[in-house]
Structures are given as C-alpha cells and as structure tokens.
Structure 1
Amino acid sequence: MDHHSFDGSHSRNNIISIYGEKSKNKENVMNTILFYNIGILELILIAFAVISLVLVIPFAIFDTIRSKELSTPHKFLWILFILVAPYLGAVVYLFWGRKQKAL
C-alpha cells in the first residue's frame, strides 16, 4: 500500500504542486497554495467588492452628511442603513436617497 503523507520531514523542494510537478521555487509553492481554485472571475469580483467598499460607501456617507436638505434624523437613519447593509445601503441611497433632496 502506497501511503503518502506530509509529516514535516520533507523539504520544500520535494513539495508536489497541484499540477503533479515538483516545485523548486518557493514563490510558485505559495502561489499554488494561496490561489488554489481561485480563477480570474473570482479575482475580478473580489476587486470590484473592495473598490466599491473603498469608494462608493464612503462617498454615500459623506454625501449624506453634507446634505443640507435632509434633516438630522434622516441623515442618522441613512448613515445607519449604509453602515448596517453597506452595499445595499449605499446603492439605495445613491439612487433614491439623493433624489429626496429635490423633493
């Protein structure tokens, strides 16, 4: 019976990558471990989520604070909604909440 286990006694040069080749490059081993089963579509989705978190949500909060047409309780509720449900709250505010200023 052929039993394959990693007990820590193997050197990094003997680690077999997911492609069945021996890897002699530490960076290749780390890339194989870190990005295993993550494709380009997943990386694009992660990048989109991070960009929206960094740009859209703070913009919605600052726009709510700067609004002169919204009362203080309305500002508080909008900011609370944006913080509790960040993506949904920011999108709803930007498409619907900003229009309340014109009313």
Structure 2
Amino acid sequence: MSNLLFLGFGFGTSIFGILYAVLAIYCIIDIIQSSFKDTTTKLLWLVVVLLAPFLGSVAYLIAGRSGKRW
C-alpha cells in the first residue's frame, strides 16, 4: 500500500513540476517578445522571473503586464 502512495506522490509532484516550468517559460517568452514602456522594466521582470520562477511568474502575470506598451 505504501508503494502505491509513493508512486502517486511522485506522479503528483512531477505534474506540478512540469506546470511550474511551463509557467516560468511562458512568462520568459512573453517578456522577451513584448515591448515595454522602458527597457529597464523588461530587464527587471526577466531577472525576477529567472531568480524566483514561481513567485516572479505570478507577480509578472498580475502586475507586470500592465507595464507593456500596447
């Protein structure tokens, strides 16, 4: 029974790991392809997402997209 629990835990963590990586990669690509009002802002968001992938990605999706030039 404990082996089944362990396998389920491993599968669950691998799914979250994949989603975590996809979120960070999506944000990095979006930052690179977008034009911001200021070049420094673009660089700062890129550094934030690279240094803190999960929190930086969430922060970028919530607050960073407003700094883009439309």
TM-score (norm 1): 0.54
Q: In the TM superposition, what is the alpha-carbon distance from 1:42 to its structure 2 partner?
A: 4.7
**In structure 1, distance between residues paired with 2:37 and 2:13:** 34
Matched pairs, number: 70
RMSD: 2.8
Unpaired segments of 5 or more residues in structure 1?
Answer: 1-18, 20-31
Could you tell me whether the CA contact under 8 Å between 2:31 and 2:42 is conserved in 1?
A: yes
Which residue matches 1:71?
38
1:86 aligns to 2:53 (yes or no):
yes
The correspondence of residues 34-53 of structure 1 with structure 2, limited to 5 A, is 38-53=6-21
Q: Superposition pairs for residues 49-64 of structure 1, below 5 Å?
A: 49-53=17-21, 55-64=22-31
Please give the alpha-carbon distance, in whole angstroms, between the structure 1 residues aligned to 2:37 and 2:12: 36
Identity %: 29
| Letter in structure 2 aligned against 1:74 | T
Which has a greater percent of helix?
2
| 2:36/2:42 contact within 8 Å kept | no
Which of the pair has more CA radius of gyration? Answer: 1
Structure 1 position 39, deviation (Å) = 4.6
The two structures have a TM-score, normalised by structure 2, of 0.73
Which structure's relative contact order is higher, taking Cα pairs within 8 Å and 6+ residues apart? 2
